[in-house]
Structure 1
Amino acid sequence: MKRALSIVTLSILLFCSCKNSTEKVVEMAAETADDLHKTTTPDSINIIPIEHATFILAHKDVVIYIDPVGGTEAFAEQEKPNYILITDIHGDHLDVKTLQGMTLDSTVLVVPQAVKDKLPELKLKDLVVMNNGDTRDFQNYSIEAIPMYNLRPEALKFHEKGRGNGYVLTLGGQRIYISGDTEDITEMRQLKNIDMAFVCMNLPYTMTVESAASAVLDFKPKKVYPYHFRGTEGMSDVNQFKTIINKENSDIEVVQLEWYK
């Protein structure tokens, strides 16, 4: 497989050298990467919903906690994390007491600068600050920090652009998007090659079911997991979210997990 990829890449470079076209190199390389993504067989990833915005991704010996809150008892039966990703400073994403109660000496904590500024001293393997647009390769996976912010004038006070992160992980041959608290921003709509997407929808803090569905129909993940859908007036209608999406695109699988007990 590696040899085949090398041949494809070499062929592209030779062809483009003859044409003396840098633009052609970029275009064909992008097409090759897209084809490889489509033909690569992904590995299984275990998803463990905890509550609301908190969940665990596990693949082989990699365990990633997303926004762990709710006290250490919520994770008592789970494997210890190799990595923890925190998206924002609000209490349903950052819970200092939960972090302080965990044994994290073998854990890499990945946070935006605004979160780092609120952290006490923790005994960690490493603390990595990532802000919007940053990318980072770890031993077992890679991560991109994606903007997350509000668009509606009445909601701008909740999430300003540049403070928090959404994340795109490449893990087990799959690209996984975690929206964090956001609306249907351009950066979400322009995502490519997403296998699994965790998309928020709750008012007044993030976006409506209709806006979330509209964005998903634009970036077309293979699977989408509605999460973070409890607002001040109750739960968002995730069944309506599924109906809107599958009416327009039946190829997108909408997966509903148990986020609230």
Structure 2
Amino acid sequence: MKSTLFLTAALVTFAAQVSAQTTAPLRAAADQITTKQGPLTVQPITHGSVVLTWNGKTIYVDPYGGPEAYAGLAAPDVVLITDIHGDHLDSKTLAGLPVSKALMVVPNAVAEKLPAEYRAQVRILNNGQQLDTLGMRVSAIPMYNLPEAPDAMHTKGRGNGYVVNLGGKNVYFSGDTEDTPEMRALKGIDVAFVCMNLPYTMDVQQAAQGVLAFKPGIVYPYHYRGQSGLSDVATFKKTVNTANKKIDVRLRNWYPSAK
């Protein structure tokens, strides 16, 4: 009888372990970057979505891909949203995440499209504006297509890239942009997340030349799934490091479920 009970308990434990492994989200391993106020943890999620953890605070950037992609991560203190498109402003994903206490930093165009339930949590930042909150500084950077045109997919002034200062480290999120003069003119960027997906943003060579202009310490190619599939991030890395070996190009799998 005892052996039967022991076997049953063992099978239940094994089944629970298998279930946990089966339901665990697929995502790249997190990185840690040293700051003056402790480690900054960088957790790639998918496409343009990133979670940062620093000094007891958690920041979600463009939460997208379904709430299950964020399983096991702390609830956000701050949510940054760059643009109105569904891979940045994803209302279904937001609805499934514990964001009720988070400050939402967004451009005006995003604020106008957010569900009314989030209105009290929203702080609007437009291009060129800054916000100091929770020990960090958030600066809104223009993001747009070149050449500028009224019918462009991303017009100047609608969306934000962001530079977030955390413990003395400047972290840049490009959002959907090309290698604009504003991006090329960035100074003192320690960590950069740079998009590259045609026809929506820029190609690999444009992204590489933009990065070579502003020289971040670390750069992550992200948001690199375009109309024709995944961009060649290995070529991006080779192009950048052939010209400047000091830039740490970190390739991570932002599309772990892609076939």
Alignment of 1:77-116 (within 5 A): 77-116=72-111
Task: Write the deviation string for residues 72-126 of structure 1: whole angstroms up to 9, x where unpaired.
Answer: 2111211100000000000110111221222323210111000011111225772
Secondary structure of the 2:39 match is: coil
TM-score (norm 1): 0.81
Is it true that 1:259 corresponds to 2:254 in the alignment?
A: yes
Change (3 A) 1:217 1:123: closer
| 1:48 matched residue in structure 2 | 43
Is it true that 1:74 corresponds to 2:69 in the alignment?
A: yes
| Amino acid of the structure 1 residue aligned with 2:175 | G
| 2:244 matched residue in structure 1 | 249
Change (3 A) 1:76 1:131: same
| 1:188 matched residue in structure 2 | 183
* 1:180 Cα deviation after fit: 0.1
* 1:60 Cα deviation after fit: 2.5
TM-score (norm 2): 0.82
| Structure 1 unaligned blocks of 5 or more | 1-39
Is it true that 1:179 corresponds to 2:171 in the alignment?
A: no
CA distance in 2, matches of 1:112, 1:233: 29
**Among residues 136, 141, 156, which one is paired with 1:141 in the alignment?**
136
Is it true that 1:120 corresponds to 2:103 in the alignment?
A: no
Change (3 A) 1:103 1:207: same
Secondary structure of the 2:142 match is: strand
* 1:154 Cα deviation after fit: 8.8
CA distance in 1, matches of 2:202, 2:150: 9
Task: Write the deviation string for residues 139-188 of structure 1: whole angstroms up to 9, x where unpaired.
Answer: 22001000000004799521000000000000122000000000000000
Secondary structure of the 1:58 match is: strand
| 1:198 matched residue in structure 2 | 193
| 2:17 matched residue in structure 1 | none
CA distance in 2, matches of 1:160, 1:72: 29
On the 8 A contact 1:56/1:65 being kept in 2, the answer is yes
| Amino acid of the structure 1 residue aligned with 2:137 | S
CA distance in 2, matches of 1:116, 1:124: 8
Secondary structure of the 2:223 match is: coil
On the 8 A contact 2:81/2:88 being kept in 1, the answer is yes
| 1:217 matched residue in structure 2 | 212
CA distance in 2, matches of 1:64, 1:41: 18
CA distance in 1, matches of 2:76, 2:119: 11
CA distance in 1, matches of 2:172, 2:52: 12
Change (3 A) 1:153 1:173: closer
Aligned residues: 222
Where do 4+ consecutive residues of structure 1 move more than 3 Å? 40-43, 152-156
CA distance in 1, matches of 2:131, 2:111: 17
Change (3 A) 1:153 1:168: closer
| Structure 2 unaligned blocks of 5 or more | 1-34
| 1:240 matched residue in structure 2 | 235
CA distance in 2, matches of 1:125, 1:114: 16
Secondary structure of the 2:241 match is: helix
RMSD: 1.8
| Amino acid of the structure 2 residue aligned with 1:241 | F
Task: Write the deviation string for residues 28-83 of structure 1: whole angstroms up to 9, x where unpaired.
Answer: xxxxxxxxxxxx85742111111001110111211000000122211121110000
On the 8 A contact 1:107/1:124 being kept in 2, the answer is no
| Amino acid of the structure 1 residue aligned with 2:136 | Y
On the 8 A contact 2:172/2:191 being kept in 1, the answer is yes
